[in-house]
Chains A and B, each alone.
Chain A
Amino acid sequence: MESSSPATPILEVATVTKRFGGFTAVDDVSFRIQEGEFFTLVGPSGSGKTTLLRMLVGMEKPTSGELRLRGRVINDLPPNQRPTCMVFQSLALFPHLSVGRNVEFPLEIRGQRSGERRTRAWELLKLLHLDPNRYYDKNIAQCSGGERQRVALARALAYDPEILFFDEPLSALDARLRKTLQKELKDLQRGTGKTFCYVTHSLEEAMVMSDRVAILRSGLIEQIGRPDEIYSSPKNAFVAEFMGEVNLLPVVGTGDATATWDTGRKTLALALPAPLPAGAAKKLLIRPESLRFLRADETAGNTLPVRILNQFSLGSRLQYHVEVAPGCTLTVERLREERVTGDTALLGWDLGDSQLLDA
């Protein structure tokens, strides 16, 4: 995927490492961002996302490795000389300036005349669905969270950067507003054709917006790829788990395509989608929607008698928590029409719907 792209990357991160004292926050990370791409870095808290981003905008220097912008090494270029700009999680708006003056800030620094500045700020506010007549003179303190978000974005766009970086800018907003802004952000990226590099701890958010996603885990990149690639073939259990509610069964091979699953009280024999050497430990990934309840006459690759513990409504679907053995539960998601009743049921899945992953 990476090498198939003919264009030279706009930004190349080559074996970049960042250490704070003895602690390695970013460990030998390499990736390329293509021009016009929406690239997202995802990882749990403390995985080094902010540190990596701060190096990309120049607020932090890599301990080793190189950052190349259109082929030019920019390790030592300070942020005010880089054609990149960052939207902070805190937004970092200027509290003493009005909305309009905030947006005009980078233009003022560049020495543009006040008339031109005002016109441009007016355009940008409109682009971000903020009525300039109402918002231009408004104080930052009077704006809501979503409005501030848009002001921060307008300010960053006013700088006219080649790459726009975002550090979890939506995490402080409520779920609905976040969804709206995610779509707007994607539209904006398409509309302006700019390269966006986004950081979030939510893979779901990353999937919605991104062309490509990189998954970070304690300073290391676990997987890079298109959202559907990552969804359909996660590289390991960490990536799979990060994607949301999935069932990951620790299995130990017993030769050929069979394995045992130690549930704690009971050891169950399972059929696998692929051969696993005897004694090898892996994780078996089964998505909640791949699990189904079987009628008495039905068969599947694997069948297990289960006890139904709980049932939750997810709108069009129902989620069940079922117990395979005492203290060992699986998550099942079925359509509402396939509702099952009773305490016990027969659970099954097809071998092709499960995947063997490295732990």
Chain B
Amino acid sequence: MNAAAPQPPPEPAAAKKPARELAPALLGLLSASPFGLLMLFGFVAPLLCVVWFGFMPPKTFSLLQAPTLENYRTIFDQTYFKSILWSLGLAGGTVLVLLVICYPLAFAMAKIFRGGAAFVTYAIATSLFVSENIRLFGWVIGFMKKGVVGGTLAAWFDLQIDSLLYNVPVIILGMVYVYLPFMLFPLVLGLKMVPDQVREAAFDLGASRWQVFRRVDLPLSMPGVLIGSLLVFVLSVGAISEAKILGGQKVVTIAADIESEFTYAQNWPLGSAISTLFIALTTVVVFFALGRFDLEKLLGKKPSE
């Protein structure tokens, strides 16, 4: 402040001022509190319970016992790592397949279709209105022995085929189908952020279509790619219905393992320990990915060192 500036006359309500300055902070806190409470009691508290339960002796139902590492020993002694790998593998596969399928579609929706984009958006969003399990059973009817596909082939072309269900590709197909919107919409938004003139400038400076894609579209739409991939990965790594309904007993995912510990085996501490381990693992994978791709840097908001 300039010392020579005339002092403003003392405010009559000077005592009120701090209260008025406090008000926005207080209001902010107040408006955040419903969500805060919900997160506290609906997410943080149960999560802490689960983590703590993982240290209780096996096959007990009380949180008030001496902690033990026995559950974790069991996990590493047995073959749970297989289920973990299956879950990570299926999720990773789903992400990759979805990236390949969705990128061109998203590109068309963001840059080529005009009114058509809204129609595609509605069409895809509508599929979310139907319960996932119902949609998956629809696939079962389609792919089972003498189902829609097999039956049609048999009737029209006299081709006898076995059930198409219960294998890894069909599980991935189901996951790809269920999680498609979660990849597509972030990609569309990401691609919409690529300015048309920047693409044209690259083209004008001699770049081929492929080079424009590699050097302009892809890096500038990276935020969408990243958000879509993370969403799909996190959702599909905990997926359970696809493997169960379409995969039968062929593949046991970690989510299925956890479910059976809590229900069939009645071993809550072991179930909790697997959950804890798996949450930790997913978190590490996600943060690793986030660290690799710095969103701010991609958007050009931060100096690249």
B201 at the interface (CB under 8 A from A): yes
Whether B205 and A109, one on each chain, are in contact in the complex, defined by CB atoms closer than 8 angstroms, is yes
Nearest residue, chain B, Cβ from A59: B200
Say which residue of B202, B204, B301 sits within 8 Å of A94 (CB atoms): B202
Q: Chain B's nearest CB lies how many Å from the CB of A81?
A: 8
Among B21-29, B138-146, B184-192, B206-214, the stretch in contact with A? B206-214
Residues 106-140 of A, flagged 1 when their CB comes within 8 A of B and 0 if not, give 10011000000000000000000000000001111
Q: Range of interface residues on chain A?
A: 20 to 34
- Closest A residue to B303 by beta carbon equals A139
Cβ A105 vs Cβ B202 within 8 A: yes
In the assembly, what is the distance between CA of A156 and CA of B203, in Å? 12
Cβ of B104 within 8 Å of any chain A Cβ, yes or no, is: no
Q: Scan residues 54-77 of chain A and give those whose CB is less than 8 A from a CB of chain B.
A: 57-59
Produce 1/0 per residue, B21-58, CB < 8 A to A.
Answer: 00000000000000000000000000000000000000
Q: Give A96 to B208 CA distance when docked, in angstroms.
A: 19
Residues in A neighbouring B220, C-beta threshold 8 A: 95-96
A94 and B197 contact, CB distance less than 8 A: no
User: Is A155 positioned at the interface, with any CB of B under 8 Å from its CB?
Assistant: yes
B198 within 8 A of partner (CB) = yes
A110 CB contacts on chain B under 8 angstroms: 206
The minimal Cβ–Cβ distance linking B127 to chain A, given in whole angstroms, is: 34
Among A90, A94, A159, which residue has the most Cβ atoms of chain B within 10 A?
A94
- Identify A80's interface contact among B195, B203, B302, CB under 8 A: B203
A263 CB to nearest chain B CB (Å): 48
Is B18's beta carbon under 8 Å from chain A?
Answer: no
- Which residues in B have their C-beta under 8 angstroms from that of A109? 205-207, 211
B124 contacts partner chain A, Cβ-Cβ < 8 Å? no
Picked from A58, A96, A106, the residue with its CB within 8 Å of the CB of B219 is: A96
A85 to chain B, nearest CB (A): 6
> Known: A94-B202, A96-B219. Contact between A80 and B208, CB under 8 A?
yes
A271 to B269, CA, bound (A): 108
| Given A94-B216, A96-B298, A109-B207, A79 contacting B303 (CB threshold 8 A) | no
Contacts A90-B197, A92-B198, A92-B201 given; indicate if A159 touches B300 (C-beta within 8 A): no
Complex Cα spacing A17 to B239, Å: 58
| Chain A hits for B2, CB < 8 A | none
| Chain B hits for A92, CB < 8 A | 195, 197-198, 200-201
Q: Indicate whether A45 reaches chain B with its CB closer than 8 angstroms.
A: no
What are the residues of chain B within 8 A of A80 when measuring CB–CB? 203-208
Instruction: Write the nearest CB–CB distance from A344 to chain B, whole angstroms.
Output: 48
Given A88, A96, A106, which contacts B206 in the complex, CB threshold below 8 Å? Answer: A106
Question: Which A residues, 309 to 332, have Cβ-Cβ distances below 8 Å to chain B?
Answer: none
B299 sits at the interface (CB 8 A)? yes
Cβ of A78 under 8 Å from chain B: yes
Q: Which of B270-305 contact A (CB under 8 A)?
A: 297-304
Q: Is the CB of B198 within 8 A of A86?
A: no
- In angstroms, Cα B69 to Cα A157, docked, is 67
A57 with B204, Cβ < 8 A, contacts A92-B195, A109-B211 known: yes
Q: Which of A274-305 contact B (CB under 8 A)?
A: none
Q: Which residue of B lies closest to A110 (CB)?
A: B206
Residues of B contacting A90 with CB < 8 Å? 195, 197
| Most chain A CB neighbours (cut-off 10 Å) among B198, B200, B206, B216 | B206
A156–B202 alpha-carbon span in the complex (Å): 11
The answer to whether B204 touches A59, judged by C-beta atoms less than 8 angstroms apart, is: yes
Instruction: Looking at the assembled complex, report how far the CB atom of A167 sits from the nearest CB atom of chain B, in whole angstroms.
Output: 10
A202: interface (CB < 8 Å): no
Among B197, B206, B302, contact of A159 (Cβ-Cβ < 8 Å): B206
CB pair A88–B304 under 8 Å, yes or no, is no
List A134-172 residues whose CB lies under 8 Å from chain B.
137-142, 155-156, 159
For B300, list chain A residues within 8 Å (CB): 95-96, 139-141
**Using Cβ atoms and an 8 Å threshold, which residues of chain A touch B297?**
96
Give Cα distance in the complex from A96 to B298, angstroms.
6
Q: Is A182 an interface residue (CB 8 A)?
A: no
Nearest CB to that of B216 among chain A residues?
A94
Q: Across the two chains, which residue of chain A brings its CB closest to B197?
A: A92
Q: Once bound together, how far apart are the Cα atoms of A92 and B197, in whole Å?
A: 6
Contact of A95 with B299 at beta-carbon distance under 8 Å, contacts A80-B206, A80-B207, A106-B206 already known: yes
Given the contacts A95-B220, A96-B219, A141 and B204 also touching, CB distance less than 8 Å:
no
Judged by a CB distance under 8 angstroms, whether A24 is at the interface is no
In the complex, A15 has a CB within 8 A of chain B: no
Q: Which residues of A contact B299 (CB under 8 A)?
A: 95-96
Tell me the complex Cα distance, A105–B206, Å: 9
Query: Which residues of B are found within 8 Å of A85, using beta-carbon distances?
Result: 204-205
* A98 at interface, CB cutoff 8 A: yes
Complex: A110 Cα to B220 Cα, angstroms = 22
Query: What residues on B are CB-neighbors of A142 within 8 Å?
Result: 303
- Bound Cα distance A272, B301 (Å): 64
A22 to chain B, nearest CB (A): 18
In addition to A84-B204, A105-B202, 16 A-B residue pairs with Cβ atoms within 8 Å of each other are A57-B204, A59-B200, A59-B204, A86-B201, A86-B204, A92-B197, A95-B220, A96-B299, A96-B300, A105-B215, A109-B205, A109-B207, A138-B303, A139-B300, A141-B301, A159-B205
Q: Lowest 10 CB-CB distances: which A-B pairs, in order?
A: A95-B300, A92-B201, A92-B197, A106-B205, A79-B204, A139-B303, A109-B206, A92-B198, A96-B219, A80-B206
Q: Can you list 27 residue pairs at the A/B interface with Cβ under 8 Å? A: A59-B200, A59-B203, A59-B204, A78-B203, A80-B204, A86-B204, A88-B197, A88-B201, A90-B195, A92-B197, A92-B198, A93-B198, A93-B201, A94-B215, A95-B198, A95-B220, A95-B299, A96-B299, A105-B205, A106-B206, A109-B207, A110-B206, A139-B300, A139-B302, A139-B303, A139-B304, A159-B205
